[in-house]
Structure 1
Amino acid sequence: MGRREDLLDQVTDHVFEHGLIGLTLRPVAAAIGTSDRMLIYHFNSRDELVAAVVTRAEDRAIAAVDALPGTDGVRQGVNALWAALQTDPLHRATDIYVQAAATGLIGQERFAAIVCEANDRWVRALEDYLVRCGAPPERVARVVRLVDSSLYGFHLDLSTDRPDELAMGVDDLAAAAQAIAAGWDPAALGRPEAPTSVS
C-alpha cells in the first residue's frame, strides 16, 4: 500500500470516528501523526481529501454489502440490509455520505464524477445483493431505486424516531420491494385526478 492510500485509510478511520463536517487539514493531520503539508502533497486540497474520504467510505460500504449472504426472498433481504445499515461500517459510511451531501460537496462539479462513479458501484452492489435474495435481474433496478432512497430516509430518522417504529416502516418498504420484484407495477394504481375548483 502506498503512502497516499495509507494516509487515506487513516483519515477515513478518523472521519468515521469524529465525522466529516468541520474537517480541517491541520487537526486531522495532527490526529493521525502527520502534517497538513503532507496531506496537501498527496491530496492537493481539503476538498479533494474529503472527496477521497467519501469514496473510500463508499468502498467500505460496498465491501460490506458484497459480504452479505442472500436471504429467502427480497422482503427478508431488505430487512437484513436495514439491520446491516445500523452496524459499522455501513452505519458510519452512510453518515459520511449524508454529511458530504449536507456540506454541498456532492453537488460540486469537480467532484460530481467521482461521487457518481461511487454511487454507480453502490447501486450495482445493491442489485447484486437483491438478486442473491431472489429479485429477478430484469426488475432489480426498479427495486433498488425504491429501497436505496428509502433506506437513506430511514437512516436520517434514526436520530429522532424509535427504532421499533422505523423497523415497521422498513418492513412495509420491504413488502413493497418484494411485490415489485414479483411483478407488481405501482403505476397500475393510476395517478390521482387534479382537484376541481368549487364555485
Structure 2
Amino acid sequence: MARPADAAKRAELLRQTFDYLVEHGLADLSLRPLAAALGTSSRMLVHYFGTKEQLVTQALAAVRPDIEALMDSAGEGAESLTALARMVWQDMCGGEQEPRVRLLLEVMGLAMTQPDQYGALAADAIHAWVKPVAHALRRAGLSTAQAQARATALVSGLRGIAHDRYLTGDRARTDAAAEQIIALVVPRRPGSSAGPATGHEDSPHRDPT
C-alpha cells in the first residue's frame, strides 16, 4: 500500500512548482526537468499529484487568493466595491497577483490550442473570479443577470488590460482604461442598475428618483 502523501511536503512542492512555472512557463513543461529543479523525482511528483496537468491545476489552485473572502470584505456600498476593484487592479500590475495573472494568461492561450490539457483549468480559473464578484454585485443591488454580466466585464476587462500593460508597459493608458472599466461596471449607488453618472444625471435640476 502506498504511504499517505505528507501534507507539508505536498504543499511545499506546489509552491515550488508555481515558482518554477512563473520563471519557465507552461509551453514546454516536462516533469523530469521540473522534478530536478525541485530536488525530487518525476516518480514522486506522479505519486503526489498524478499527471502533469493535475500538478499544474493544483499548483495554481494552491496560490489562488481567497476571492470570496476578498469580495465579502468589500461591504455593501458601491464606494467599497470601487475601492476594492482599484486595489485588485494595482495588485495585478506590480503586486502579488501579477505573476498569477501572467501565468493564467498563458494557460488561457494554451487552452485555445490544447483544450484537452488546459481547457478545464482555464475555465475554472475564470469562474473562480467571476462567481464571487457577481455575488458582491448582487449584494450591491443588481439582479442576477446584471451581476453576472458586469462581473464578467470587470474580470475579463481588467485581465485583458493587464495583458496590454505587461506587453507594452504603458502605465498611464492602461490605468485610465482600468478606471473606465471599473466606473462602467460598479453601480453608482446601492440598488442602482445604471452605469456611471452622466452630466444630465448629475444636474441638480433633475429629480433624483
Q: Please report the RMSD computed on the Cα atoms of aligned residues, expressed in angstroms.
A: 3.3
Indicate whether 1:79 and 2:86 are aligned. yes
Q: Is the CA contact 2:10–2:48 (under 8 Å) kept in the aligned structure 1?
A: yes
The residue correspondences of 1:19-168 to structure 2 (distance < 5 A) are 19-57=25-63, 59-60=64-65, 62=67, 65=70, 69=74, 72-104=79-111, 108-109=115-116, 112-113=119-120, 115-128=122-135, 135-138=140-143, 139-158=146-165, 159-168=167-176
Partner residue, 1:178:
186
From the superposition, tell whether residues 4 and 115 of structure 1 become closer, same or farther in structure 2 (CA, over 3 Å): farther
Runs (5+) with no aligned partner, structure 2:
1-6, 196-209
After superposition, give the CA deviation of every residue in 1:10-35 in whole Å (9 maximum; x if it has no partner).
21233234433322212221222111
Q: 1: distance between equivalents of 2:113 and 2:61?
A: 11
From the superposition, tell whether residues 23 and 65 of structure 1 become closer, same or farther in structure 2 (CA, over 3 Å): farther
After superposition, give the CA deviation of every residue in 1:124-161 in whole Å (9 maximum; x if it has no partner).
33235556xx7325343222111111111101101214
Runs (5+) with no aligned partner, structure 1:
186-199
Number of residue pairs matched by the alignment: 183
Partner residue, 1:9:
15
After superposition, give the CA deviation of every residue in 1:70-129 in whole Å (9 maximum; x if it has no partner).
572544443222112224431111111111122237963466445544433322332355
Q: Is the CA contact 1:60–1:93 (under 8 Å) kept in the aligned structure 2?
A: no
The higher-RCO structure (CA 8 Å, 6+ apart) is: 1
Q: Which portions of structure 1, spanning 4 or more consecutive aligned residues, are displaced by more than 6 angstroms?
A: none
**Greater Cα offset, 79-88 or 143-152:** 79-88
Partner residue, 1:189:
none
